[in-house]
A and B are shown apart, each in its own frame.
Chain A
Amino acid sequence: MSLYEVWQAAASSPFQPAVGKDSQLTVGLSLLLVGLILTGLFGLNRSPVSIPLFGIPASLAFAIGAVYAICGFGVYV
């Protein structure tokens, strides 16, 4: 089976990104803001509980937010 036939057969499943190009910057910056707020909350109360409560969610928000923000600014990683 040639790759052209494979390409034709997959016509019904074009790639769709999880977040569209138009909303990447909004999503990215919002997540970075969430990360910043959670970091602030972590800073107010540095206890062993605040790591899973604020630190881990903040890290996740920073991670995903950074990827979408850089895409939103036009550097498609």
Chain B
Amino acid sequence: MIVVENLNYSVASAQILTDVSVTLPKGGITALIGPNGAGKSSLFSHIARLLPMQSGRITVDGMDVAPANRQALARKLAILPQQVHFATRLTVKELVQFGRYPHCQGRLGAEDHEMVEASLAAFGLTALADRFLDTLSGGQRHKAHVAMTYAQDTGYLLLDEPLNNLDIAASRALMTLLRWLADEEGKTIVIVLHDINFAAHYADHLVVLKDGRIEREGSPVDMVTGALLADVFGTDAQVALVGATPFVMP
């Protein structure tokens, strides 16, 4: 369970987050959605400790997200930032091995090697293990990054807009993978998403942000309605139901 209490964040007199308090449930996929500039990424960055906290408190399973708990948090919570560009040339295996760093500080033991092999196998990357990352397609590279966080062996996985620059096949493959992690491996996934349809189809819980505040939260069926699109996103879009899943007509 990730608990955010009274989080405020401002940059040079612009208030980005205003008194945000929200509880993200343990288990399943929770998606943060909202229009551009709503503060989704800022909220994400605070939970991921990428931004120093100005006021408020965030705990992960009761552990404070503070510099003092850096190492312990790295074994509890893994993050996948938006755009990762490495200056060095890395192979898939080297990248996945870095995921073990919080556990072994770079000295890989037998257990760590096992975990690396298991991650490579789980994501179908064994054949690509010795390929350099810059020779892979966008989808494969994403998979390698998720494999790294899998090797990190954390209960929580946070992803910031992972579907950017991915085509429909790669996007669906990645979301299916996350669904599998949540359902079969019991991980808690928190994901910032732009595409409401992806959020409605794959997530269990939606948190809607607008103007730096939590606007509403709940299950996709309750959340994704014409009223939400009009109130929060300011656009008149039709919402259809495909099976039990709401679908926003573009």
- Interaction A to B: no
